[in-house]
Amino acid sequence: MTIAEATPDFEADRSDRAFLGHPKGLGYLAFVEGCERFSYYSMQTLLVLYMVKYLLLPEHAAGVVGLEALRGWYGGIDGQPFASKIFGDYTSLVYLTPILGGLIADRWLGRRTTLILGGLFMAAGHFLMAFEGAFLFALLALIVGVGLFKGNIASQVGELYAPNDLRRAMAFQIFYIAINVSVIAAPLISGTLGEKVGWHWGFGTAGVVMVLGLILYIMAGPWLPADNRPGKNAEAKAAEPMTRQDGLRVLAVIVLVPVMAVALLTNQEIFNAYLVWADQHFQLTFFGTTLPTSWMITIDAAASFSMLAAVAAFYVWYGKRHREPDELGKMIIGSVFTIAGGLCLVMAAATQGGGKIGLFWPVMFHLLNSIGFAHILPVSLALFTKLAPKALNATIVGIYYLAFFGANKVVGEVGTWYSSMPTTSFWLFHVATAAVGLVAFILFKLFLAKRLMGEPATA
């Protein structure tokens, strides 16, 4: 029996609609991913602020193993630019390693074992953050953990459905809603603990939630797709050739990855220079109380959650009256909203004057950018899992995350400009990248989509 034949046994049952009209396994996967994303975004929300306001100060930096060597590698930079470079490399590598994690799952260990190992590495990384000297080792553990975990949970969502099951795109929207609930909670809980009580309290909370997610995943086994761990004939299975159409769809995935990376730059900058800008220039004091800067991430996540639900509801209504746009059409629409959101940041910087920036323009940015997010992120992930050949499902999801690798790597570089570039120019650059993404999506849809994508094989 081939790898491709090993999973349809699970897919044959289409009667499971126990979770909001979807398979029960979707509910478990969504909650597990919610725990993992809570832990990850706790870390990502606090990371730059922790470095700029605490760890990279001379009295603390001296005790961090390997930090001076890394500083030399980066050219001797310090302060916010140094923090941005570390952030960029960390957040890009956590989206590069899922390719290796997918290959490990597809070829050797199977998704289940690989995912559990990833969760253990992530939990260890969060707990290591309690020790300042182990900072770089903590980041390394998290990079390995996310790589083993990330693609291997998203690929299981796709396998709950037949290739042409119309519930697939909605399933990934539900999956992203769970993620955004976690991103709402992470700054409120871990962010507040980190900024107001102690940085290590925030990181420790992330580790505890990661462990809870692992326990839930182990308990959910009976409702999840069959594991894809290769059997004794793994080498023969791995050598099974793809069809010509499979090859063209993989090529479509590879072409779309850099386009996605460019389109995501503004969204990914939220966790880097945007937070430093907010900490320095936003009006966050109300009635004598200064809100944690990390709560700006909660505003973003709340907007994303609301817009994911609103956009999904809109297309349910719209689809009953008109022809719903395909995935690429929605991604084009999303790019338009991303541009509009970036222009709000330009307006905030241009109208600041000598005081603090009120929250009107930042909130408008989060609202418009979140509409763009709802049209691009879940839709593109659903598209990639639909295009993926079954034997390379987890690997293709790992390739999908190369877009985030590229975006975060560029964000780490661009973020170093924040301290020396006029803020209006800084955000205009991000608007320009969103415009490039828009044009590239349009060109792909007009000239390459039908030729490369075709139709996925039915189960």
Question: pLDDT grade, residue 382 (50/70/90)?
Answer: confident
Predicted local confidence at residue 439, as pLDDT: 97
Burial class (CB in 10 A: 0-12, 13-18, 19+), 58: exposed
Long-range contacts (CB closer than 8 Å, 24 or more residues apart) made by 20-25? 20/174, 21/167, 22/160, 22/167, 22/170, 22/171, 22/174, 23/160, 23/161, 23/223, 24/223, 25/156, 25/160, 25/220, 25/223, 25/224, 25/225
Per-residue pLDDT averaged across 1-10, rounded? Answer: 31
Q: Encode pLDDT of 83-122 as tens digits.
A: 999 999 999 998 888 888 878 887 888 888 999 999 999 9
**pLDDT recorded at residue 1:** 27
| pLDDT class of 305 with cuts at 50, 70, 90 | confident
pLDDT score at 392 = 74
pLDDT tens, position by position, 227-284: 766 664 455 445 667 788 888 888 888 999 999 999 999 999 999 999 999 999 999 9
Q: Which of 127-141, 173-187, 216-230 has the highest mean pLDDT?
A: 127-141
Q: Regarding predicted confidence, which is higher, 152 or 139?
A: 139
